[in-house]
Amino acid sequence: MNNVRRTRLSAVLAALFLSGAALAPQVAAAQAQPAWNTPVPDQFQDSWKAFLAMKAKAKKSAVRPDWSGLWTRGPGGLKFDPSQPGSPADGKITASLTPAADAKYRKKLADVAKGIEWDQLSYCLPAGFPRWLTEPFLREFIVTPKETWWINEQQSEARRIYTDGRGHVPDDEAFPLWEGDSIGFWDGDTLVVHTIRVKPGQYQRSQPDYSDKTSTIERIRKISADAIEDQITVWDPEGLTKPWKVVDIFVRVKTPHSRIDMWSCEENNNVVKTDSGASTFVLPGEGGYKDPSKLLVAPGAGG
pLDDT in tens, 99-155: 999 999 999 999 988 888 878 787 888 999 999 999 988 999 999 999 999 999 988
Q: Which pLDDT score, from 0 to 100, does residue 32 have?
A: 45
The residues with which 182 forms a beta bridge, in sequence order, are 161, 195
Residue 240 resides in a domain:
yes
Q: Which pLDDT score, from 0 to 100, does residue 31 have?
A: 46
Q: Which pLDDT score, from 0 to 100, does residue 274 have?
A: 62
Residue 24 resides in a domain:
no
User: pLDDT by residue (tens digit) across 13-67?
Assistant: 454 444 444 545 544 444 444 456 789 999 999 999 999 999 999 999 888 999 9
Task: Report the candidate in 151, 171, 175, 170 with the shortest Cα–Cα distance to residue 161.
Answer: 151
Residue 61 resides in a domain:
no
Task: Give the range among 16-20, 94-98, 146-150, 161-165 with minimum mean pLDDT.
Answer: 16-20
Residue 282 resides in a domain:
no
pLDDT band at 275; cut points 50, 70, 90: low
Q: Which pLDDT score, from 0 to 100, does residue 125 have?
A: 86
Phi, psi of 30 (to 5 degrees): -65, -40
Residue 270 resides in a domain:
no
Q: Which pLDDT score, from 0 to 100, does residue 3 have?
A: 53
Query: With 90 as the cut, is the pLDDT of residue 10 above it?
Result: no
Alpha helices in the chain (DSSP H): 3-32, 45-56, 99-113
Task: Report the candidate in 165, 159, 157, 234 with the shortest Cα–Cα distance to residue 203.
Answer: 234
**Which residues of the chain form beta strands (DSSP E)?**
71-73, 139-143, 147-152, 157-162, 181-187, 190-196, 201-202, 209-210, 215-224, 227-235, 244-252, 271-273, 279-281
Q: Which pLDDT score, from 0 to 100, does residue 183 have?
A: 98
Tell the burial category of 5 from Cβ atoms under 10 Å away from its Cβ (0-12, 13-18, 19+): exposed
Residue 293 resides in a domain:
no
CA gap 269, 271 in Å, rounded: 6
Residue 35 resides in a domain:
no
Instruction: Considering only residues 259 and 103, tell me which one the structure prediction assigns the higher pLDDT.
Output: 103
User: pLDDT by residue (tens digit) across 235-247?
Assistant: 999 999 999 999 9
User: pLDDT by residue (tens digit) across 185-236?
Assistant: 999 999 999 999 999 999 998 999 999 999 999 999 999 999 999 999 999 9
Domain harbouring 81, CATH code: 2.40.128
CA terminus-to-terminus distance, the chain: 35
Q: Which pLDDT score, from 0 to 100, does residue 109 have?
A: 93
Q: Which long-range contacts (CB under 8 A, 24 or more apart) does 141-146 make?
A: 141/67, 141/71, 141/228, 141/250, 142/67, 143/64, 143/65, 143/66, 143/67, 145/64
Residue 294 resides in a domain:
no
**Amino acid residing at 27:** V
Range of the domain at 130: 71-252
Our count of domains for the chain comes to 1
Q: Which pLDDT score, from 0 to 100, does residue 209 have?
A: 96
